[in-house]
Structure 1
Amino acid sequence: MKLLYARTSPYVRKVMVVAHETGQAEAIERVPVIATPTERNPETARHNPLGKVPTLITGDGTALFDSRVICEYLDVRSSGPRLFPEGEARWDALTRHALADGLLDAALLLRYERVMRPTPARWDAWEAGQIAKIGGALDRMEATLTRDAGEVDIGTVAAGCALGYLDFRFPDLAWRTGRPAATAWYAAFSQRPSMVRTTPDAAST
């Protein structure tokens, strides 16, 4: 398998955390590509018409995207414990997964606004709207991240990667303030080997 990836993408990190947790990281060849919202990378677009990372190319040449699809594909291939539970627990895990991805969607839009948009064209109301979404997602996480940090499913993996991205790109948002449960949970969860190996500055990412 080949993974088209960008080192700092939190969605790529989520895929690689799942790969480590399911024992498949060594089976994935990582191919770095440049991905921006303003320029389509021809190599990426050849496999994924959206031009986004992560894109996984399977052994038979099939291209899978986006991160949600890739994570579930890796989970189905796993012979060990499953990160996508069955039964009623599945809907809870998928909802927490969607919450974390929604936080990341808002965070990426905020970063593009701050870093890529020319200063005269920046829209304060747009930035405030994304920050409000991030804050709402964090408040829901504070209410739901009460489980033991040793419990791993796709919802906790996504939450860990989302909180890690806030640390990486948005220390000014101080997401820990007023959120002791999420703070304690992340302090423990971020020490998992899969999380340590996939930090943006880790050599294995």
Structure 2
Amino acid sequence: MRLRYSPTSPFARKVRVAAALVGIPLELDLADTLNPDATLRSHNPLGKIPILLREGKGPLYDSSVILAYLDHLSGGRLLPSDPEAKFEEMRLEALADGIADAALLQVYEVRFRPEEHRVAKWLDHQAGKVAAALDALEAAPPPADRDPTVGDIALACALGYLDFRLEGRWRADHPRLVGWYDSFVKRVPLFLDSAPS
């Protein structure tokens, strides 16, 4: 299987970490999301990554769909079988993906708009989403003594993205979450292999 990705994408990182955890090899294929003529749009009309290309089958996107597929292929190693526990993990994944989305929108606002056209209210709105989600997770971090789930992987990738793009400012006010993140890195050493540079 081939993964269309960018090394800085927290969503592509989710897939790389999950695949490595369950022992599913992926061929990595860099994608240019800004080139409308690139083959990327033939795989996903939205031109977004990650995209999992499978021989003889249609492409899969986005990261949550790909992780569900990897869970299926691995016999349920990324999601609990109990329905309530499963939906709890999917909710954590959605919250973590929301953090990454809001952080990415902040980065794009600065990257793609000249300074005189940036919308401070929009940046504050996205920063507020990140802050609210981090506060909720600080109050009740996920368990740190279990095999990694889709929720854990998504959260670690979102926090890693905050470190990479937003200078790790989240750390000062979230010591319990920092402890959880440090524990994840120790439990999943291959996570560092996927770190953006």
TM-score tier, shorter chain, comes to over 0.9
Distance 1:90 1:59, change over 3 A: same
Equivalent residue for 2:103? Answer: 107
Following TM superposition, by how much is the alpha carbon of 1:42 offset from its aligned partner in structure 2, in angstroms?
A: 2.3
Equivalent residue for 2:20? Answer: 20
Distance 2:39 2:192 in 1: 29
Q: Is the 8 A contact 2:32 2:38 kept in 1?
A: no
Q: How many residues align?
A: 195
The answer to whether 1:128 aligns with 2:130 is: no
Equivalent residue for 1:2? Answer: 2
Percentage of identical aligned residues: 39
Following TM superposition, by how much is the alpha carbon of 1:54 offset from its aligned partner in structure 2, in angstroms?
A: 0.4
Q: Match of 1:42, SS?
A: coil
What amino acid does structure 1 have at the position aligned with 2:30?
P
Question: Which runs of 5 or more residues in structure 1 are unaligned?
Answer: none
* TM-score normalised by length of structure 1: 0.90
1:28-68 C-alpha deviation (Å, 9 max, x unpaired): 111111123xx435210011111111011112141111111
When the two chains are superposed, the root-mean-square deviation of aligned CA atoms in Å is: 1.5
Q: Is the 8 A contact 1:34 1:41 kept in 2?
A: no
Distance 2:131 2:73 in 1: 35
Equivalent residue for 2:28? Answer: 30
What amino acid does structure 1 have at the position aligned with 2:55?
G
Q: Match of 1:63, SS?
A: coil
Distance 1:152 1:167 in 2: 20
Equivalences for 1:4-153 in 2 at 5 Å? 4-24=4-24, 26=25, 28-36=26-34, 39-79=35-75, 82-86=77-81, 87-153=83-149
1:124-159 C-alpha deviation (Å, 9 max, x unpaired): 100000100000111111122151254311111110
Runs (4+) of structure 1 exceeding 2 A deviation are 39-42
Question: Which runs of 5 or more residues in structure 2 are unaligned?
Answer: none
Q: Match of 2:28, SS?
A: strand
Q: Is the 8 A contact 2:7 2:194 kept in 1?
A: no
